[in-house]
Amino acid sequence: MSDTPDVNASTPQRVPVIAIDGPSGSGKGAVTQRLAAALGFHILDSGALYRLIGLAARKHQVGLADEVALAAIARQLDVNFVATDDAEEPLQVELEGETVTRLIRTDAAGTDASAVARLPLVRDALIQRQRDFARAPGLVADGRDMGTVVFTDAILKIYLTASAEARAERRYKQLKDKGMGVSLHDLFLSIQTRDEQDMNRAAAPLRPAADALLVDSTEMALDEVFALVLAAARASLGLAATVDQPA
Ligand code: DC
């Protein structure tokens, strides 16, 4: 037996990870939740981490361009994700002991998140925290750079997109269903601004990984998208022999 330590033995990288990236409103969140439930996998909602940093910054009166102070917030972020029985909101989010599940979902919180997410020191501060979500039996990771930066070894990378109009309409419906008053036109403009910012920043810009499966859901119902992604996930896991195959 070699006495060279296996440096990978205790790292979570060998846990199967499915990376789902794409722009705001592409349906990543819903697909991630359904896929994780179907496979019994954990979920990483990486956007929530950036939203929480924005929220913590507002709470502690730190400017959204103060990269060093924001990176310190990111490193010390006192956050808790608590599983619930609510299919719509399967994770209750707590920041410094306070429930902020709804507060982080507002459009303003998304805009703040996009602003802090441009900053390389903030992104670096979150990398290990995100990788630590990879625990057995597996992880579905939702974000912008899951396949390109955080989980480059993911067994499956999906890039989910849709037209800006379709995404604005979906977001509008989602927020309305949650009782949050928004205008469709404002949401459309906000989605365009966020796309522009997330795709054109220097640090980890939103783009498909070279080995990602591209899914344009503009004309697809959520059930169709989910069926396609689940089939791809099962095929990938079959190759990795980590789930039971039908006899
Ligand atoms: O997925 P979301 O809408 O909750 O993400 C909010 C913002 O956070 C998004 O506009 C860009 C940023 N983000 C990011 O830069 N990298 C990620 N992995 C996830 C989100």
Q: Tokens at residue 241, please? A: 């022999």
- Identify each DSSP E strand in the chain by its residue range: 17-21, 42-45, 79-83, 91-95, 98-99, 139-143, 156-161, 213-216
Amino acid making up residue 230: L
Is 51 within 8 Å of 112 (Cβ atoms)?
A: yes
**pLDDT at residue 216 in the model:** 96
Give the mean pLDDT of 199-222. 94
- Work out the mean pLDDT of the chain and round it to a whole number: 89
Compute the distance between CA of residue 45 and CA of residue 81 in angstroms, rounded to an integer: 10
Give the mean pLDDT of 109-130. 96
DSSP state of 150: I
CA distances from 38 to 133, 154, 234 (A): 18, 18, 10
* pLDDT per residue as tens digits for the range 155-208: 999 999 999 999 999 889 888 888 878 899 999 998 999 899 899 999 999 999
**pLDDT at residue 177 in the model:** 85
Which residue's alpha carbon is nearest to atom 2 within ligand 1? 47
Cα dihedral 118, 123, 124, 125 in deg (nearest 10): 130
Q: What is the pTM (predicted TM-score) of this model?
A: 0.87
Which residue's alpha carbon is nearest to atom 1 within ligand 1? 47
161 lines ligand 1 (CB under 6 A): no
Give the mean pLDDT of 208-232. 96
> Mind listing the domains of the chain with CATH numbers?
14-232 (3.40.50.300)
Compute the distance between CA of residue 25 and CA of residue 201 in angstroms, rounded to an integer: 19
**pLDDT at residue 91 in the model:** 81
25 lines ligand 1 (CB under 6 A): no
157 lines ligand 1 (CB under 6 A): no
Which residue's alpha carbon is nearest to atom 20 within ligand 1? 47
3-state helix, strand, coil in the chain (%, to 5): 50, 15, 35
130 lines ligand 1 (CB under 6 A): no
Rounded to 5°, angle at Cα 44 from 38 and 49: 150
Is 182 within 8 Å of 99 (Cβ atoms)?
A: no
Instruction: Provide the greatest CA pair distance for the chain.
Output: 65
**pLDDT at residue 175 in the model:** 82
Burial class (CB in 10 A: 0-12, 13-18, 19+), 43: buried
Q: How confident is the model at residue 129 (pLDDT cuts 50, 70, 90)?
A: very high
Is 84 within 8 Å of 90 (Cβ atoms)?
A: yes
Closest ligand 1 atom to Cα of 198: 11
Closest ligand 1 atom to Cα of 130: 18
Looking at per-residue pLDDT, the higher value among 133 and 239 belongs to 133
* pLDDT per residue as tens digits for the range 79-104: 998 888 777 777 899 999 999 999 99
Closest ligand 1 atom to Cα of 21: 18
Residues 6 or more apart whose Cβ sits within 8 Å of residue 66: 57
How many Å lie between the centroid of ligand 1 and the Cα of residue 47? 4
Closest ligand 1 atom to Cα of 109: 6
